[in-house]
Amino acid sequence: MAAFFASVEQMDRPEWRGRPIGVTNGERGTCIITASYEARAFGVKTGMRVKEAKQLCPGFIQVASRPVRYTEVSSAIMAALEDITPDIEIFSVDEAFLDLTHCQSYYNTTAEQIGRLIKQTVFDASGLRCAVGISGDKTTAKWAAKREKVGLTVVPPWDAEATLANEPVTELCGISDGIGAFLKARGVERCGDMKRIPISAVAQRFGNPGRRLWLMAQGRDPEPVQQETAPAKSLGHGKVIAPDTRDRELLLMYYLHMAEKVGRRLRKNDLEAQTFAISLRTDLGGIGAKYRTVAATDDGAAIYALAKTFIDKRWGGQGGFQVQINALDPRPAAQQGDLFATVTTAADSLNATVDAINEKFGAFAVHRAPLVRRTDMPNVISPCWRPSGHRESIDY
């Protein structure tokens, strides 16, 4: 989708169409989640501070995000795309892969015509325009979709290797700056350079994903469309807060909020965890630590106790701008417990009751008293949101 969140806002608010807007986490958000193309023309980009955006862009409009609205539009789009092919991978809130292999005889038409059908289907379902890329593998198709912001680009599979040859490898999905640096040190800066090194050189460092990277650069990504969401390898919540926050009680309130959100999300997905990473990002760098509970848990109070330990032992008064709690080893909840672990049936009963109330009346309708101060902390939506499973996380 083209500047998805901003496009939804401009669709719903006609007076913002053609004007530079930036979506932030609430009215007091300081960091831009996404910007309209009118704002991008002035250099405004994702991750930029609102203050800087206003300096770059005269008439810049800050817009509070509405995650529930974005998921409504996304869900409508994904449902409509399933009418084109049942083989669909929801890659993120505004992106999907469609495998048309099994539908070719049904459509009996060209790739360009199917691309136009996809674009019209998305527009009919949402009122928004999108970019479509078509090729013989996922990576090349995704690269093609980035060529034009609301266009259609087709790369025939037999032309994929030559088409990608002069592109920087970091333009491909999955090749971060870190992987890019590893490849550059071995003389691989563009996709066409990849064949100069043996596949074993990448596989030795990155395993099977390395073998995939080697093939991706040649337009031969072997990964099929993934229709099932993989089990969670980690599960967490973070919050960008006011810059240079040094108030201990305020930091603890933010950590309490994140702990309750992580606990709620674990319970919703019948998961629990025992190892948690607590971190704080500051202008001087990040600080963090890993802690373990006595037994695997899904209780926000137990997770919050770890955050308090982190603040007491690792925080030195630095001004922070982002808090984060991650459950590092989520697992199915119905496992054999530790023989010597204390069974907290009271906490389990309390959490079940609170979850039921919040499910009926809205997230945090009932909450712990310190979270009264969280009123300016609206929910956010992760780019990797899915309409079901552990990635569906905006409501808690």
Cβ atoms < 10 Å from Cβ of 47: 8
Question: Looking at the annotation, which residues are catalytic?
Answer: 95
Q: Are 325 and 303 in contact (CB under 8 A)?
A: yes
Q: Are 391 and 236 in contact (CB under 8 A)?
A: no
Q: Which one-letter DSSP state was computed for residue 59?
A: T
Residue 183 has φ and ψ, to the nearest 5°, of -70, -40
- How many Å apart are CA 266 and CA 301, to the nearest integer? 13
Place of tokens 């709690």: 325
The sign one gets for the Cα dihedral 63, 69, 71, 72 is: negative
Q: Which one-letter DSSP state was computed for residue 254?
A: H
Q: Are 22 and 44 in contact (CB under 8 A)?
A: yes
Structure tokens at 341: 């672990």
- How many Å apart are CA 365 and CA 213, to the nearest integer? 46
Place of tokens 């991750």: 47
- How many Å apart are CA 217 and CA 222, to the nearest integer? 11
Q: Which amino acid, residue 14?
A: P
- How many Å apart are CA 6 and CA 39, to the nearest integer? 10
Q: Are 1 and 95 in contact (CB under 8 A)?
A: yes
HSE value, Cβ hemisphere, 13 Å, CA-based, for 340: 2
For the chain, state the CA radius of gyration.
23
What does each C-alpha distance from 377 to 28, 188, 209, 316 come to in angstroms? 9, 44, 37, 25
Report the C-alpha dihedral over residues 347, 266, 233, 29, rounded to 10 degrees. -110
Report the C-alpha dihedral over residues 386, 391, 394, 396, rounded to 10 degrees. 150
